[in-house]
Chains A and B, each alone.
Chain A
Amino acid sequence: MRIIHPRRVGIGLTSLLAAWALSMSVHADARSDSLVVALAMPLTTVDRLYSVQREGLVLAQLTDDGLFHVDPDTLEFVPLAAASYEWVGETRLDVVLRDDVKFHDGSPLTADDVVYTFDWVLDRDSGTSRGPVIRGWLDRVEKIGEHRVSFHLKVPYPMALRDMAVSVPLRKQGTYAHTGIRAVEQQLNGIGPYRVTGFRAGREIELTRFEDYYQASPKANPAIKYMRFRVIPDQGTQQAELLSGGIDLMLDVPPDVADNVRHLPNVERLEGDDIRIGYITLDAAGYSDPNTPFKDVRVRRALNHAINRQAITQYLVRGSAQALDFACHPLQFGCEGTGPVYAYDPGKARALLTEAGYPNGFSFDLWAYRDKVMGEAIVNDLRVVGINANLRYVKLNVFSKVRNDRDMSAFFASYGGGGTADASAITGVHFVANTPRNYSGDEELAATVLAAERTIDPERRLELYRQALDRIADQAYWVPMFSYSQNFLLAPGLDLSVPRDGVPRLWQARWSN
């Protein structure tokens, strides 16, 4: 019979490394003109207005500009295709456009194009992916000059610039009328620093530098001329491709893989923050079962004490990830809770459970759809204090069905919020009324969160968010888990600055030799 021989494993690993070293030297020749990036998710469209995946955001950084963008260093929302802007009262925003911006087809950007773009997004029948969000606050857009537009808001909305920066790339007037939605995907006419020159749905995207890009933009003159995005859903395949020179850059690399690769010569690793947090929601309202133990705040606090967030963060999430105490990401504006924090203390957790009438623990289903390893670690921590959690690990489509039906007693999930450095991104979706993610049943909290979202004054917003976050912590509606860390693996010689918000700006990439 075949038996695995210890030395074999050693030899295998060594030859593995040798093979890599070899292949790296082969593909490290001059390719200063092009960059090949692996994508894990199949992109079904290159039109950001219709894409929903995070990868679409990465791509849109290259092909599209909005009126505003997120400054990669400060994470603030600053003008991009806009020259300047001014708030007129709380519900009117006047924007002056740059006059040197050209679409990929050579035509100049005018106020008509801006009005067309936003009208298209506001139109219910256009079916854009962010339409419903924009319609939530934007009433209408008005042309007030050849390069001037005026935005009229339904309510005061401090995140207007964010939405314009992240969700609304500008389109040429009449774009969708002429070609229909599907055709636009083939020959996207944006104003970004790269043009789409090839697209095979779900497989490959080819970009070429747009030479007529406006020079005043911070994104002007990118070093690399051609970019290719190859869809490779399997992580192992991506690794192998990187090692054999098929790709130059891997995004979202699992920390284990990144760690291993760190020890290899000729592969580089970058590590950065990601404005994405992991959390557990507990059914405090008793939606799933009127008799659920989670209706008792002591049980919810017990869970907060029972899970070793620090260890999970340090050993599993790793990188720049941090264990969280509040329902927000530390980089976000407004993330300044002062409420109670729960230290890892299984003894205290057991005491709280006993007090609540569960000296022998209880059983429940913990639902999850991603980060299975962390889910398992949570389950194992709960076992220690006598709680028997069944990990119901399912795909998103099943998960959201059960969650939206309010049939979960607890779920472990994550939220990115488009990399927005503002607490509204997380509290807004999770604690306002009528969102299926809200299992707290706390109406006062919902009112506080909504008020914060409609307040322009920063001081007042800060205070409102502090109230909300403290309330969440005190009532232990969540077990906040950790912030994420982003790992990138890259071919040697590739220069890429680490994004603070987890969204790589590939226009910054360059080959150093």
Chain B
Amino acid sequence: MMTTDTVKNPRFVAESQTDGEQVDTGLGLSPAKAALKRARGHTGLKIGFGIILLMVFLALFAPWLAPHDPYVQNLPMRLLPPAWVDGGEWRYLLGTDHLGRDYLSRIIYGARISLAIGIGAATVGAIIGVTLGLLAGYFGGWLDQAVNFLVTCQLAIPSLLLIMALVFVIGQSITVVIFVIGATHWVFYLVVTRSATLRLREMDFVAAARSMGCSRFQVAVREVLPNLSNQIMVIFTLEVAIAILSEATLSFLGLGIPSPMPSWGLMIAEGKTSMFFQPWLVVLPGLALFMLVIAVNLLGDGVRDVTVTDRRS
């Protein structure tokens, strides 16, 4: 009971501008088609989806899109400003960093890292959270108690500090960052899965499936998960955004992605010492980060608005 109290998150409740219309648009269509139709009318969703598409495109085709190798240094050409500023050069459109590496190329490659971390960590979190939620919700008893204890730990521990301590001691790498962030971001999945499992357990079709000879846990997995996919997808999207920000923060504090990888957070940290003189070093990766995260959030909010229709009932 206490866990659900403390993790109340208003973001998982629909609240969009389309509140009033939802009932009408859904009439007479299959749920999927209705959702699609609502999606077309959702501006935030479209913007978010558009930006993400662009970012994914950048990430996938970085080697062809980036004008330079993001790792190759050219010391005499270091700290050039963006091309349109005095002293800039057009072959380095967004200027160069402290080692003379092309900033545009590093920002393009940076999309790979942010997306990889975001999706990777959210997946790790989803696997942990959903599994624990299923177990706790379906079996209850001491298992539920144990999971509850884990949640309490999770909520009570200052997670940023813990992550920092862990990364500090284990060592920095993409994998470590993904797993550490994932391992500290699974509570929302758990809460949703657990309560849904509790509810569904009582329902007829689960009982029916059980009578047909499925084991209890198979039932839980097969029947509960599909019913939850919408909600989990919404949480997943929002957790992607949170993970991207966490990585950036960690890298900014010097405990995330190791250099020389072009992580946006790390780039901001590296530009910080000269931010009064070469502000683009801090401004540009920050903007990229902001765009990506806002897009993921818009997408998440949009998907929630479009799929979760039964709120007012």
Contacts and interface: CB of A to CB of B under 8 A. Distances in A.
Contacts of A376: 73, 99, 259-260
Contact of B273 (A235, A394, A398): A235
B275 A236 contact: yes
A239 B287 contact: no
Contact of B287 (A4, A254, A372, A379): A4
Contacts of B28: none
Interface in B254-310: 258-260, 270, 272-280, 283-284, 287, 291
Interface stretch (A49-57, A309-317, A352-360, A434-442): A309-317
Given A4-B284, A6-B85, A395 B168 contact: yes
Contacts of A4: 280, 283-284, 287
A10 B85 contact: yes
A391 interface: yes
Nearest to B75: A315
Nearest to B169: A398
B71 A9 contact: no
B63 interface: no
B57 interface: no
A419 to B, nearest CB: 25
A12 B279 contact: yes
B258 A260 contact: no
B114 to A, nearest CB: 18
A256 interface: yes
Contacts of A391: 258-260
Interface string B205-231: 000000000000000000000000000
A28 interface: no
A383 B130 CA distance: 43
A315 B73 CA distance: 12
Interface in A229-276: 235-236, 239-240, 254, 256-257, 260
B276 A380 contact: no
B79 interface: yes
Given A377-B73, A377-B75, A239 B276 contact: yes
Contact of A2 (B169, B277, B278, B287): B287
B61 interface: no
A16 interface: yes
- Interface extent on B, as a size class? 35 or more
A373 B283 contact: no
B46 interface: no
B259 A393 contact: yes
Given A4-B283, A380-B260, A373 B99 contact: yes
Nearest to A16: B276
Contacts of B287: 2, 4
Contacts of B172: 393
Interface string B235-262: 0000000000000000000000011100
A236 B258 CA distance: 22
Interface residues of A, number: 36
A260 B274 contact: yes
Nearest to A311: B75
A311 B76 CA distance: 8
Contacts of A393: 172, 258-259
Contacts of A257: 273-274, 277
A261 to B, nearest CB: 8
A376 to B, nearest CB: 5
Contacts of B258: 390-393
A4 B82 CA distance: 11
Nearest to B272: A236
B42 interface: no
B72 interface: yes
B273 A372 contact: no
Contacts of A30: none
Contacts of A260: 274, 276-278
Given A4-B287, A380-B260, A9 B279 contact: yes
A380 B99 contact: yes
Interface in A388-405: 390-395, 398
Given A1-B291, A239-B276, A315-B78, A380 B85 contact: no
B68 interface: no
A236 B98 contact: no
B155 to A, nearest CB: 29
B98 A256 contact: yes
Contacts of A372: 259
B84 interface: yes
Given A4-B287, A6-B84, A373-B98, A379 B260 contact: yes
A376 B262 CA distance: 12
B41 interface: no
A392 B283 CA distance: 27
B31 interface: no
Given A1-B291, A6-B84, A380 B280 contact: no
A240 B276 contact: yes
Given A236-B276, A376-B99, A316 B75 contact: yes
Contacts of A13: 277, 279
A204 B70 CA distance: 43
B279 A256 contact: no
B223 to A, nearest CB: 43
Interface in A342-377: 372-373, 376-377
A252 to B, nearest CB: 12
Contacts of A377: 73, 75, 99
Interface in B40-88: 71-73, 75-76, 78-79, 81-82, 84-86
A383 B73 CA distance: 11
Contacts of A394: 168, 171
Contacts of A10: 85-86
A214 B259 CA distance: 53
Contact of A392 (B72, B98, B171, B260): B171
Interface in B154-187: 168-169, 171-172
A315 B275 CA distance: 19
Contacts of B291: 1
Given A10-B85, A260-B274, A391-B259, 14 more contacts: A2-B287, A6-B85, A9-B85, A10-B86, A236-B276, A239-B276, A256-B274, A256-B277, A260-B277, A311-B76, A316-B75, A376-B260, A379-B260, A391-B258
27 contacts: A1-B291, A4-B280, A6-B84, A9-B279, A10-B86, A13-B279, A236-B273, A239-B276, A240-B276, A256-B79, A256-B98, A256-B277, A257-B273, A257-B274, A315-B75, A315-B76, A315-B78, A315-B100, A372-B259, A380-B71, A391-B258, A391-B259, A391-B260, A392-B258, A393-B258, A393-B259, A398-B169
- Complex A-B, nearest 8 residue pairs according to Cβ-Cβ distance, in ascending order: A260-B277, A315-B75, A6-B84, A380-B73, A376-B260, A311-B75, A235-B273, A256-B274
Interface of B: 71-73, 75-76, 78-79, 81-82, 84-86, 98-100, 168-169, 171-172, 258-260, 270, 272-280, 283-284, 287, 291
